[in-house]
Amino acid sequence: MTATAQNGLKDKLLTFRHGVHPEEFKELSNHQPIERMPFVEDYTLPLLQHIGAPSKPLVRKGQRVKRGDMIAEPGSFVSVALHAPVDGTVTDVGLYGHPNGQMLPAIRIKADPFSTQQLDQPALRQPEELSKAEFIEAIQQAGIVGLGGAAFPAHVKFNISEDKPCRYLMLNGCECEPFLTCDHRVMVEYAEELIDGACILQRFIQAEKVYIAIEANKPDAVVALREAATKAGFPVEVVPLKVKYPQGAEKMMISAILGEEVPAGKLPIDVGVLVSNVGTIVAMSQYFRQSQPLIERVITVTGTAVRRPANVLVPLGTPMRDLVEFCGGVTGEATRILLGGPMMGIVQKSLDTPVVKGTSGILVLTEREVQDIDTFSCIRCGRCLEACPLFLNPARLGLLARKGLWDDMEDYNALDCFECGSCSYVCPSGIPLVQSIKVGKAMIRERKSK
């Protein structure tokens, strides 16, 4: 029995209300099998690759490290460990360019040119033997963070308190951002690991039911996961969802599957749901079964300005320039380099920063996709209200932001906005709505902290 059938909507895919339909551009890379990035000479590993406190370095300049060795330990509870992606020598611990635009402390490793780079770490205690506390600690030691993009430490999320039981575990394979295909390929090629990881996590959180949510444009992933679940004898419901942006936002996914809303200011766990990206779950399985901490991840390198769009398994710390070169480099038409998808991705000024745990895609666009349209006055057409998945009033918020009326913005629930960009996407007058709301949110927060 599928959720769709239960709801009596056999032919209608589940979804949330509102949202937008940008062109998908997934065909550039969705049939490209995951390739392994060759090892390069230098790796830069920022100590802050997650939300929370930076990791504390455990290595000195000149020290030899093996692939998978811990090179930095968690800086606090909301922090994770960091591991060497290659056999090599630490050449520096200092300030280096970070994808977020700042110069931040990082460990620099020169790869050993004579190493086979085979992972050679001792076997770990299997999750079946661990207590819950040991499991949480193991996830932190593995350096695992949410691989969907936010890079929130996974062990903090998995550490469910007794008074907030988890009813549903939802694995997020929606991948609603245009262009990105890394989660798609992971679900197809690592279906067994994903089901194994779900099984491991389910043991500790005791959810009543496990869902895997996938947008309906990835039918091969739906089939692969259903088969893997049947083979493993693990009860999972693979739910195809309507292709609509931002279907992969956890609130929207919960609304689509359960028809429930997450109350404002609360987390999914407050309604008994734990949401995790599919890649995170695969990383967890690989840690326990193959003793491989989070030292590499799958990244989609795509865009019409990339010569050979691909899905690449990349060791963390690899310079983006080398990764893009591996994908044939960019054409002269490139005008925007983004980390992540085109709707929420962060623009980069250069490729001189390393791949980090939260990098899901490198997207290089040309003028053809980036239509900078002229800005007209708001004609109050209401398209932004019909796009906003949270039922906010972006037209009003944008106006208030431009006037600097931060208190009024808060009154209009600016802080609930999760910056999906649907409002700016639809605005026929080309008004930078989400951009102004971002500014307003920052101003409201700054005034509050004073």
Spacing of C-alpha 247 from chain mean position: 14
Q: Residue 401, interface with other proteins (CB under 8 A)?
A: no
Are 237 and 212 a contacting pair, CB within 8 Å? yes
- 121 makes contact with other proteins (CB under 8 A): no
The amino acid at 278? V
Interface with other proteins, residue 375, by CB under 8 A: yes
Q: Does 378 bind other proteins (CB under 8 A)?
A: yes
Q: Which stretch binds other proteins (CB under 8 A): 61-69, 102-110, 262-270, 289-297?
A: 262-270
In the bound state with other proteins, the residue whose beta carbon lies nearer, of 34 and 365, is: 365
Verify binding: residue 265, other proteins, rule CB under 8 A: yes
Near other proteins by CB under 8 A: residue from 9, 379, 404, 442: 379
338: contact with other proteins by CB under 8 A? yes
Q: Interacting stretch for other proteins, rule CB under 8 A, among 1-9, 125-133, 277-285, 373-381?
A: 373-381
Cβ density class 23-61: b for 16+ within 10 Å, e for less: ebbbebbbebebbebebbebbbbbbbbbbbbbbebebee
Interhelix angle for 182-189 vs 219-232, to 10°?
30
The structure tokens listed for 378 are 């708001």
Structure tokens at 265: 């200011």
Helix, strand or coil, per DSSP, at residue 148? coil
Which of 156, 175, 117, 142 lies closest to 298, judged by CA?
175
Residues 40-99 that bind other proteins (CB under 8 A): none
Q: Strands, DSSP E only, in 140-277?
A: 168-173, 209-215, 237-241, 273-277
- Which of these segments, 20-28, 64-72, 207-215, 293-301, binds other proteins (CB under 8 A)? 20-28
Between the alpha carbon of residue 70 and those of residues 67, 86, 425, the distances in Å are 9, 11, 43
The Cα–Cα gap between 343 and 141 comes to 33
Phi, psi of 372 (to 5 degrees): -80, 100
156 contributes a contact to other proteins by CB under 8 A: no
DSSP 4-22: HHHTT-TTSPB--SS-B--
- Least distance between other proteins and beta carbon 323 (Å): 12
CB-CB contact of 31 with 181 (8 Å):
no
Q: Work out which of 9, 103, 373, 442 binds other proteins, going by CB under 8 A.
A: 373
Site size toward other proteins (CB under 8 A) is 74
Closer to other proteins at the Cβ: 195 or 338? 338
Nearest CA among 171, 159, 165 for reference residue 270:
165
Under rule CB under 8 A, residue 413 binds other proteins: yes
* Shortest Å, Cβ 433 to other proteins: 10
Backbone φ and ψ for 95, nearest 5 degrees, come out as -85, 130
Cis peptide before 342 (omega within 30 of 0): no
Residues 171-190 that bind other proteins (CB under 8 A): 178
423-442 positions binding other proteins, by CB under 8 A: 424-426, 428-430, 432, 434-435, 438
Q: Which stretch binds other proteins (CB under 8 A): 55-63, 158-166, 287-295, 421-429?
A: 421-429
| Nearest CA-CA partner of 47 in 121, 107, 132, 99 | 107
Query: Residue 260: which H helix or E strand, with range?
Result: none
Q: Which of residues 268-327 bind other proteins (CB under 8 A)?
A: 305, 321, 324-325
**Given 61, 347, 404, 442, the residue binding other proteins (CB under 8 A):** 347
20 is a contact residue toward other proteins (CB under 8 A) = yes
Q: Between residue 218 and residue 247, which ones bind other proteins under the rule CB under 8 A? A: none
Q: Is 406 left (phi over 0), alpha (psi -120 to 50) or beta?
A: alpha
Among 149, 240, 421, 440, binds other proteins (CB under 8 A): 421
Out of 9, 103, 133, 381, the only residue in the binding site for other proteins (CB under 8 A) is: 381
Instruction: Out of 5, 8, 10, 23, point to the residue binding other proteins (CB under 8 A).
Output: 23
Q: Is 393 in the site for other proteins (CB under 8 A)?
A: yes
Q: Which is nearer to other proteins, 120 or 352 (CB)?
A: 352
For other proteins, give the closer residue by CB, 266 or 448. 266
Please tell me whether residue 264 binds other proteins under the rule CB under 8 A: yes
